[in-house]
Amino acid sequence: MCWRESLDAALQAAQPGRRPILLAIGRLAEESDSKALDRLASWPAVVFLSQEQVAAVRLAHDDRACKDLYARFRIKSLPFVAWLDEFGNPVLVEPFPESAERLTAIVAQWPSMLARIDRYFKNHLERADLSYKRGKLRDAYLQFERLAAFKGAHQDAARAGMLKVEHVWQSLLDRALKLPPEQIEQRDLLLKGIREETIGLPFVLRLLELPAAQAEAPPGADAAQAAAGDAQAAAGDAKASGGAPAAPAPEPALSQSSLEQPPPEKALAELASAPSAAPPVQEEVSLNLRFLMSRQDEGSVEALKKLREGLACYRGALQPERQDPAERNRLLEQGFAAFDRGIECLNGIKEFEGNREAQALIEHVSMLMYGCMKYRSL
């Protein structure tokens, strides 16, 4: 039996021809585990595979790589085997085999398994990119983040996708911090939208890393300084909701928190065999305007007219077939102005003060206004 000296040696041996790596893991000091490993090494078919087609390595159960596997796949019995690809990603994690047939079958299926895994990465990168193009930034970020947890050629593309989404959020944050005092409402909209989309994500660390001097704006400080304080407050709430603790971030690369992805709980073969999800669709954007439609006062009529106008512009801008950025941005600007006027009318109706339905509508419209600003940044 050709056992490689270490996992690193097995990884090096696996690179040519994308050979599978077989990890046989057990308590080497325990007689039962030692006998099982020796039995595996005595099977002629497995010995042949170790010479020509498989990079095999025997590891003790307390090896660091094995501890990672325990945590990720909840291993409950020893010994066990794990199959890795040439980058070290777990493809299969299984109980210890009773015969050589299972091992030879996996080696025979290896090329087709790798082909499915390659398709999985390709399809999910395309899906994440489509989510980004449709403005579903949080969904796109989470998809890129999951793919970036795996080593390989796709990892750079996934990390680049995360950076691309972060760049949009960062540009929106920068824009909010630079708005003059007379545009404080737009600033608050931007900060609120960023907060909604990034809560609990690694990107929230960018908010925590704002200069402390900005967070404690003295009396008379400009709107940008006050906005920095609001942004840090939003980040603090996100941190309390489950975000990672702050850590120094190398620039201009991804922050360390983004690079250290939480490991997935399924091996690649299982992920690649799952039914493909439907591509993300452009959801229908709507507003609940029914309570306005029955009112005849001037403010309600004007609010209804402007909210419908804003909705039409917003929907028109997001049509997948709309390719002209200038026309899209014109519609977004027009929609933003209409929404803004609609909210102004609603706020001017005294009966709506404390009205839950009216306040819910204002909240919804404010997020569409954030959407207008966000889509202009894509």
Q: Which residue has the higher pLDDT, 56 or 373?
A: 56
* The pLDDT of residue 184 is above 90: no
Mean pLDDT of 144-162: 93
In DSSP notation, 261-284 reads: PPPPSS-HHHHHHSPPPPPP--PP
Alpha-carbon gap, residue 117 to 136, rounded angstroms = 25
> What does the pLDDT read at residue 236?
45
Q: Which of 185, 218, 246 is the last residue of a domain?
A: 246
In this structure, the answer to whether residues 148 and 92 fall within a common structural domain is: no
Lowest mean pLDDT among 13-27, 232-246, 285-299, 343-357: 232-246
Q: Which of 246, 275, 307 is the last residue of a domain?
A: 246
Q: At what angle do helices 153-178 and 356-375 cross, to 10 degrees?
A: 120
- CA angle at residue 140 from 172 to 378, to 5 degrees? 40
> What does the pLDDT read at residue 231?
45
Q: What is the CA radius of gyration of the chain?
A: 28
3-state secondary structure 94-132: EECCCCHHHHHHHHHHHHHHHHHHHHHHHHHHHHHHHHH
Peptide bond into 252 cis (omega under 30): yes
> What does the pLDDT read at residue 282?
55
Partners of 55 in beta bridges: 21
Q: With pLDDT > 70 as the criterion, what percentage of the chain qualifies? A: 81
Structural domain boundaries, residue 196: 135-246
Q: In this structure, is residue 140 part of a structural domain? A: yes
In DSSP notation, 186-243 reads: HHHHHHHHHHHHHTTSTTHHHHHTS-HHHHSPPTT--HHHHHHHHHHHHHHHHHHTTP
Helix/strand/coil percentages in the chain, nearest 5: 65, 5, 30
* The pLDDT of residue 245 is above 70: no
* The pLDDT of residue 229 is above 70: no
Alpha-carbon gap, residue 200 to 244, rounded angstroms = 7
The CATH number of whichever domain residue 77 belongs to comes to 3.40.30.10
Q: In this structure, is residue 251 part of a structural domain? A: no
Number of domains in the chain: 3
Q: Which two tokens stand for residue 216?
A: 């404690």
pLDDT digits (tens, 9 = 90+) for 318-363: 887 766 888 888 999 999 999 999 999 998 998 888 888 888 898 8
Alpha-carbon gap, residue 7 to 333, rounded angstroms = 57
Alpha-carbon gap, residue 378 to 373, rounded angstroms = 9
Contact 82, 93 (CB under 8 A): yes
> What does the pLDDT read at residue 209?
52
Q: In this structure, is residue 129 part of a structural domain? A: no
In this structure, the answer to whether residues 86 and 160 fall within a common structural domain is: no
Q: In this structure, is residue 119 part of a structural domain? A: no
Q: In this structure, is residue 40 part of a structural domain? A: yes
Contact 49, 103 (CB under 8 A): yes
> What does the pLDDT read at residue 76?
78
Q: In this structure, is residue 45 part of a structural domain? A: yes
Burial of 280 (0-12, 13-18, 19+ CB in 10 A): middle
Q: In this structure, is residue 274 part of a structural domain? A: no
